[in-house]
Chains A and B, each alone.
Chain A
Amino acid sequence: MDMMRPMPLPPETAGAAADKPIVISVRELRAGYGAAPVLKGVNLEVKEKTVTAIIGPSGCGKSTLIRCLNRMHEAIPGATCDGQILLGGRNALDMDPVVLRREVGMVFQRPNPFPTMTIAQNVAAGLVLNGVRDRAVLAETVEKSLRRAALWDEVKDKLDAPGVGLSGGQQQRLCIARALAVEPRVLLLDEPCSALDPIATGRIEELLIQIKDQLTVVIVTHNMQQAARVSEYTVFMLMGEMVEYGLTRKMFTQPADKRTEDYITGRFG
């Protein structure tokens, strides 16, 4: 199994990351469904233009955490959420969720392109649905977003083909392009590669490393090697609590908390 091989070292840029400003600040976040609490007071900070990975065993609350960041969590009936999520000084929990979601975008576990739209229409959907009509602007945005999602070369000749006709990996990159088209400050990804094969996974990891120069990336992953490969910061969660959070390089070589060490060395999870 993979755990026997030595962990790949995280990117060298980690040192420079320490000077970057904070874009999201989470303070005492509590969330749950009905009577059952899932997050029990999470505190963390996400630095701008970095990749932050959230890892932890199943049920630790990492998906709930990321879904609170763009308030998708509250779309579930009976969901509760309390605390502060500061985005540039404003508490996201007090904002209009629609406005928030234009600044904080999300890509989901299974690719979900809109079935009745073409590739181009999918990418432009966020803009069109918010009233952008100018065809030139739309075409330009479509190309730019597809390039950033490393999909342009493969689909530039078939922009009018149905979005659902692409392969799984391509569909997921299409979803990334669609999310990027509205120019968010932060892109959240909830286990984006779990339904994909290793080659498709690799292409997405590559593009995440590319785009972090332009926006902040937060990625939930159950794959520790993936966290080590792409992120500069890692958050380790366990049973609704944030156990440890820091530079990826440090966490994987000298974890401060024993629970982190147990998870990383594979003693559980």
Chain B
Amino acid sequence: MITAVLDRARKVPGSQERAGDRLFRRVIAGFAGIILLAAVALAWQLTRESAETWKTFGLTFLWTSDWDPVADVFGALPFLYGTAVSSILALLIAVPLGVGAAVFLTELAPPRLAAALMFAIELLAAVPSVILGLMGIFILVPFMRWLGAPYGVGMLTAGLILAFMILPYITTITREVLLTVPRPLKEAMYALGATRWEVVSGVSLPFARSGIIGAVFLSLGRALGETMAVTMVIGNTPQIKASLLEPGYSMAAVIANELAEAASDAHLSALVAIGLTLMAVTIVVNGAARLMLYRLKK
């Protein structure tokens, strides 16, 4: 078949690699290899350092709620709960906002205004987490108290601040996807006498659906790993309460707060175990996001 023909036609000799090219290729391949090494080292270190926890508690570590560093009893459920709830809250708030903003910027706003607003939204993604947390502590928390929340800090506050962090991603990706809706599709709708909004809801958004879902997963991945802004407003209390106005804790936050003064090896191991769990979840979520967004690029 094709390979046979290739073998018959003699490949041009002297198209062997020159010595200089070979050396160059090996050197830069080495640098690329550092990345492989780093990723493997990360996975290995985390597994090794958390081994004690898995040995002691097994998988029940993930669904028990006793977190007592003094007694060396560790259960990670409050943190999983907090991470999950705050992230979902963030999505519930940010997705409608972000998609709405993207629709406005793509369909309705005049180009120069749209460009300026997009710039402001994209820059929001560059704002460091700690600065958003700062705004959270001194503006959002008092505001929540004014609205009636007993503590001000809590799950809802964390969800809100996370929403602002993921809003730019939802908006930019949704906008990109909306821009790829084929014009003939929309024109067909218009020709039937549809209003602008009907074209958006009937054609553009359904077309963009898998892209938006991809954006949701991507933002979820970011939200899960967010540390600073969350720890500044969530209340840092390892508990599971039904009310969103109660303080809580998240996986990233507990690592940030307790690692530096980890009381014992068991404590350290438990924190690393939480980190490993967090990483595993994030990898899965990001993988799903990439899958969705990759299908889009075709």
Seen from chain A, the residues whose Cβ lies within 8 Å of a Cβ on chain B are 30, 32, 34-35, 71, 74, 78, 80-82, 93-98
Contacts and interface: CB of A to CB of B under 8 A. Distances in A.
B14 A80 contact: no
Interface in B27-44: none
B70 interface: no
B11 interface: yes
A260 to B, nearest CB: 29
A82 B65 CA distance: 73
Given A32-B9, A35-B6, 15 more contacts: A34-B2, A34-B5, A34-B6, A35-B2, A35-B5, A71-B12, A71-B15, A74-B15, A78-B6, A80-B6, A80-B11, A81-B9, A93-B13, A95-B14, A96-B18
A30 B14 contact: no
A3 to B, nearest CB: 38
Contacts of B10: 80, 82
Contacts of A96: 14, 18
B23 to A, nearest CB: 15
Interface in B1-27: 2, 5-6, 9-15, 18
B19 to A, nearest CB: 10
A78 B13 CA distance: 14
Contacts of B2: 34-35
Interface string B178-192: 000000000000000
A80 B10 CA distance: 7
A32 B2 CA distance: 12
Q: Please report whether the interface of chain A is mostly helix, strand, loop or mixed according to DSSP.
A: mixed
Contact of A82 (B9, B14, B15): B9
Nearest to B16: A96
A94 B6 contact: no
A74 B6 CA distance: 13
8 contacts: A34-B2, A35-B2, A35-B5, A35-B6, A71-B15, A80-B9, A80-B11, A94-B14
A56 to B, nearest CB: 22
Given A96-B18, A98-B18, A81 B6 contact: no
A80 B3 CA distance: 12
A93 B12 contact: yes
* Interface hub of A30, A80, A94, A96 (most chain B Cβ within 10 A): A80
Contact of A97 (B6, B9, B15): B15
A94 B13 contact: yes
B238 to A, nearest CB: 57
Contacts of B9: 30, 32, 80-82
Contacts of B14: 93-97
Contacts of B6: 34-35, 78, 80
A80 B9 CA distance: 6
A77 to B, nearest CB: 11
Interface in B148-194: none
Nearest to A83: B10
Nearest to A32: B9
Nearest to B13: A94
Contact of B12 (A35, A78, A81): A81
A82 B12 CA distance: 7
B31 to A, nearest CB: 23
A93 B11 CA distance: 10
A71 B10 CA distance: 14
Nearest to A36: B5
B117 to A, nearest CB: 32
B30 to A, nearest CB: 24
Contacts of A80: 6, 9-12
A34 B6 CA distance: 6
Contacts of B12: 71, 74, 80-81, 93
Contacts of A30: 9
Nearest to A95: B14
A94 B18 CA distance: 13
Contacts of B5: 34-35
A40 to B, nearest CB: 12
Contacts of A71: 12, 15
A12 B215 CA distance: 71
A35 B3 CA distance: 8
Question: 7 closest A-B pairs (Cβ-Cβ)?
Answer: A80-B9, A35-B5, A35-B2, A81-B12, A74-B12, A82-B10, A74-B15
A71 B9 CA distance: 16
